[in-house]
Structure 1
Amino acid sequence: MSITLYELVGSDETRPFSPHCWKVRMALELKGLSYECEPVRFTEIPTVADGSARTLPVLRDGSRLIVDSFKIAEHLEEAYPERPTLFGDGAGRAYARFIEKWVLMELHPLITRIAVREIHDLLDLPDQNYFRRTREMRLGATLEDVTRSRDEARPKFASALQPVRAVLDEQPFLGGAEPRFVDFILFGALQWVRLVSTFPVLAKDDVVDIWFERCLDLYGSLGRSYPACEG
């Protein structure tokens, strides 16, 4: 069966930047599955999945359509049990779910403060209009006002990662000796910043940055095949 990943892009449709789509890309790579990527802009999302999609990523696996990155990972684990595992045991799935909630609640809001205006500037005009309207409504401030506080977000971002440092001081990946979906959750967030913003969030000697570089090297250096954002 053919697999298609519908993933978010800006004006450069060859440069996917969504953290959630990157989780799925890495999961597909770990599973060793062949897949195609279909670029989708913000204003095109309602046309995906037979018109039922509201968010990305969406995965089409044969006749099945799956929405939401964690549900996609669960589908891949259950549909392809003979391939390398994304979660390990049952506790691994629960661990990944916890990390996903933590990243969404603690890191994504800080990344938004850091990069929201830069994301806007990567979009085509119709998407810029949509993005500004919806994000300013959600944030209760202009994109410019949100971004003015990003210097304050950097130390908070570094502090929030302290539990991750404690884990990575003892093992090469969050999933243990080998990468698991739990790694891809955090990787997606850091890849998001790398691809949309020139604002540095990690010091080069940070154990989290060393881990991130290790993840960029996975699967034929897939993450590095998309260069970092340049000012």
Structure 2
Amino acid sequence: MIYAVFVLGLALGGGVVYWLRRSKTPDRKRIPKDWPLTVRALVNNREKQVWLWLTKVMFDHQILIKLPITRFTSPAQQADAAHWYHLLNGVYCTFTLCNMEGEVIGCIDVPGPKGLSLSNQTLKHNLLSQCGIHYTVVDPANLPHLIQIRTAFLGEQAARGNANGELESRFKNVSQHLYAIVDRKRNTKNQSVAQLDASMPNSSGYAESMLESSGWEQNSFVTPLDSRAAKL
């Protein structure tokens, strides 16, 4: 009788534990009706300056923004894939250069106001160089010459392409096109603001007060790896 009571109690206890765990599972997996998220800028002011410069200098390549290194690398041994993915999934560069065949040729980091740690640069340089990918850090206040950066990523082919002035011509054409787009958007924005101000005289001051109260900043995006809890 005692044995039967013990088995019955054990079964009931197990059933209660199972029911409690199962009742909590839907709460963890339930998709919220209102997501606790807000939109923020993908790049800050410094990164945007380098981004626009890259679109002119590397006009024949694609520029990918803040792409994880694990997206374009793979482990030599698939058995270690989970380990390396867990270790490197948070590592990314500000910009990744890709040719039209989808092959990554180089990565660029833009240091934040506090700079970029030497350990951060060393880790990415060693990792990427062993994969045959060039890595460099570009300061928006001291941008390199277009021939210098193209030679670093493309080799002597870039220098040969400049022999007949083709690069300067393409660079000038792309620059003029980008400036035209910027001017057109600026004029459109000014016209929209003027119309809004005409209908709502205090709209400009209201918009500024809303931005200030929201706590949003143009340079709010963190520098890669700055938010990691521990160093690699």
Q: TM-score, normalised by structure 1?
A: 0.28
Q: TM-score, normalised by structure 2?
A: 0.28
Q: Which has the larger radius of gyration?
A: 2
